[in-house]
């Protein structure tokens, strides 16, 4: 299934900038970054529980925001893109 993760982290403090890096790092392990604070995560339910718990531990819930959008298995018909950074296919060949 595809889960979209979007976030706003308050970066007015050094701690905030550290949280921002940690959120991105946590996502990078299992997801594809498609915009600065937007990641697409192709995960199974068990992987998602692990990732979600990790993410919960990275933010300050008083001032940071994490939003998750569950796009399901048929996610390809739910995603559209305009502009820079050509869309990629998380299930496509890994270009190295």
Q: Binding to a second copy (CB under 8 A): which residues in 35-54?
A: 35-38
Output 77 or 94, the one with its CB closest to a second copy.
77
Residue 79 CA to residue 96 CA, distance in Å, equals 24
Among 28, 69, 88, 89, binds a second copy (CB under 8 A): 69
Residue 79 CA to residue 40 CA, distance in Å, equals 10
Maximum alpha-carbon separation in the chain = 40
Among 45, 49, 58, 43, smallest CA distance to 8 is for 58
> Which of the stretches 6-14, 24-32, 88-96 binds a second copy when contact is defined by CB under 8 A?
6-14
**Cβ proximity of 4 and 52 under 8 Å:** no
Does residue 73 bind a second copy (CB under 8 A)?
Answer: no
Does residue 59 bind a second copy (CB under 8 A)?
Answer: yes
Residues that bind a second copy (CB under 8 A): 4, 6-8, 10, 34-38, 55-56, 59-72, 77-85
């Amino acid at each position: 299934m595809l889960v979209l993760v979007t976030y706003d982290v308050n970066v007015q403090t050094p701690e905030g900038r550290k949280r921002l890096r940690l959120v991105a790092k946590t996502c990078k392990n299992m997801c594809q970054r498609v915009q600065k604070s937007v990641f697409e995560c192709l995960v199974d339910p068990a992987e998602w529980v692990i990732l979600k718990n990790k993410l919960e531990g990275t933010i300050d819930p008083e001032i940071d925001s994490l939003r998750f959008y569950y796009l399901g298995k048929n996610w390809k018909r739910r995603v559209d893109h305009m502009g820079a950074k050509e869309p990629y296919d998380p299930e496509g060949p890994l270009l190295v």
